[in-house]
Chain A
Amino acid sequence: MSEFFDMGGYAPYVWPAYGLTLATVALNIFWARRLLAKSRAEARRRLEIQGGGA
């Protein structure tokens, strides 16, 4: 198992590369969902201001 994590001595390069890419994937999912939640809240607020309730 430790052989796997050692990556033949390339561990200091391989694992940061994987970590960085997977963090980019996770952040993109988080950002996209946060943007949609914000736009929804914003649209709800706008509709309430215009009257008639949502």
Chain B
Amino acid sequence: MAWTWFHRLGSPPHVYALASRLTPWFAWPAALLIVGGLYGGLVLAPPDYQQGEGFRIIYVHAPSAWMSLMVYTTMAISAGAGLIWRMKVAHAVAASCAPIGASFTFAALATGALWGQPMWGTFWEWDPRLTSELILFFLYLGYMGLRSSIDDLQRADRASAVLAVVGIVNVPIIHYSVTWWNSLHQAPSVMQLARPTMPASMLIPLLLMLLGFTLLFVTLLLIRLRAEVLSRERSASWIRTVLAHE
């Protein structure tokens, strides 16, 4: 009985309807948080004592980088669930994650380069953090390339899921790269709750952006998941009902 919710997550019509209903509940808070975070980051936060106004890149760089890791983790876990329990919906979630993750990984790399140039004097360095993030970008591209190269949907799901699961080893490498190796990249400034390295006026806009981007990811995932579920179901009568009501 306690597992009914889990089984219903395997049912495409239920997932489609749930995704439709949930979308605005994530979209509007995401929009408000991001607008608030941008205002706080660009206007309210004081300039950094070392990096001056240049540090404000953190409010777009850190959320993009967080997105790149969170989306990959979601993708790998759903891909793994799809492999283990043969859930079609889990594979649909994984497939929906990839383009979102790839684009924000690109944004993280590009905003990092724009931050690196004035602060380190270089757009790019083969540094552990930067290199492992670039590998993440290629993992996303590889995942999408592999999917589109296999015509049979079930085989595409399974092959790409194996790649996604294996690639998860890169996620802790990216996260700990600044601790394990001597990196140009600065140490994490948020994930030290015991000893925050920022005053509240700098930290709060960053937290708003991180939460806003997380909710944005859920919003995008819900929209893409509906599309995936629709295109995977060949002739189900529920599609007729759903389309007649939209």
Contacts and interface: CB of A to CB of B under 8 A. Distances in A.
Interface in B22-40: 34, 38
B78 interface: no
Contact of B52 (A10, A17, A27): A10
A22 B216 CA distance: 12
Interface residue tally of chain A, by bracket? 20 to 34
Nearest to B53: A8
B107 A24 contact: yes
B28 to A, nearest CB: 13
Given A7-B53, A40-B243, A17 B111 contact: yes
Interface in A9-39: 9-10, 13-14, 16-18, 20-22, 24-25, 27-29, 31-33, 35-36, 38-39
Given A14-B54, A32-B220, A20 B239 contact: no
Contacts of B42: 4, 18
Given A21-B111, A25-B34, A13 B118 contact: yes
B235 interface: yes
13 contacts: A8-B53, A10-B56, A14-B114, A17-B60, A20-B60, A20-B110, A20-B114, A29-B220, A39-B226, A39-B231, A46-B234, A47-B243, A54-B244
A36 B111 contact: no
Contacts of A42: 230-231
A7 B240 contact: no
Nearest to A34: B227
Interface of B: 34, 38, 42-43, 47, 52-54, 56-57, 60-61, 63-64, 99-100, 103-104, 106-107, 110-111, 114-115, 117-118, 216, 220, 223-224, 226-228, 230-231, 233-235, 239-240, 243-244, 246
Given A7-B56, A10-B118, A13-B118, A43 B243 contact: yes
Nearest to B116: A13
A5 to B, nearest CB: 10
A28 to B, nearest CB: 5
A28 B220 contact: yes
